[in-house]
Amino acid sequence: MTKLAIFAAGCFWGIEERFLSHHGVLDTEVGYIGGITNEPTYHDVCSGETGHAEAVRVKFDENVVSYEELVCLFFEIHDPTTLNRQGPDIGTQYRSEIFCLDDDQYLIADAMKRKFNKEIYNDKIVSSITMAGNFWIAEEYHQKYVRKKKNMIF
């Protein structure tokens, strides 16, 4: 069965590639979520005034990979202890957040956050877990960016 999940963990280029390369992931789209502006552009989001996060929407086969496994991957591929920042990228658009599409996803994400916070991150996780609103697909040149620029390393 095909399902969707949405994660924000810094610049969406590298995060998209990490999810897209994971077994059971069928496709990804990068975009913007969690803000106040309808149909935001990359320029709008980079201003920091829309409230949107750069995010990746993951289409996955739940018979191959579970949502729980994707949440684990989310916590492993970025630093969930830095507020509004990943590496050199600074701003609310680079925040760490899981956008849940239903109550089951929320419960799983919350349980996994508590587990990782206790067992690995010493109660320092700043990642938010919220119910998803509108997901605005980013401009085409952002989609599968790492694969378009094969010489980039993430």
pLDDT tens-digit series, residues 102-152: 999 999 999 999 999 999 999 999 999 999 999 999 999 999 999 988 765
Fold type of domain 2-148: Peptide Methionine Sulfoxide Reductase; Chain A (3.30.1060)
Give catalytic residues, as residue numbers. 11
- Distance between CA atoms of residues 92 and 95, nearest Å: 5
- 135-137 and 2-9 strand pairing: unpaired
SS3 129: strand
Whether residue 153 is predicted with pLDDT greater than 80 in this model: the reply is: no
Per-residue confidence (pLDDT) for residue 152, from 0 to 100: 57
Whether residue 83 is predicted with pLDDT greater than 90 in this model: the reply is: yes
Delimit the domains of the chain by residue range.
Answer: 2-148
In terms of phi and psi (left: phi > 0; alpha: psi -120 to 50; beta: otherwise), the region of 105 is alpha
Per-residue confidence (pLDDT) for residue 149, from 0 to 100: 87
- 128-131 and 96-100 strand pairing: parallel
Per-residue confidence (pLDDT) for residue 154, from 0 to 100: 53
**What are the tens digits of pLDDT across the range 26-53?**
999 999 999 999 999 999 999 999 999 9
Mean pLDDT, residues 19-23 taken together: 97
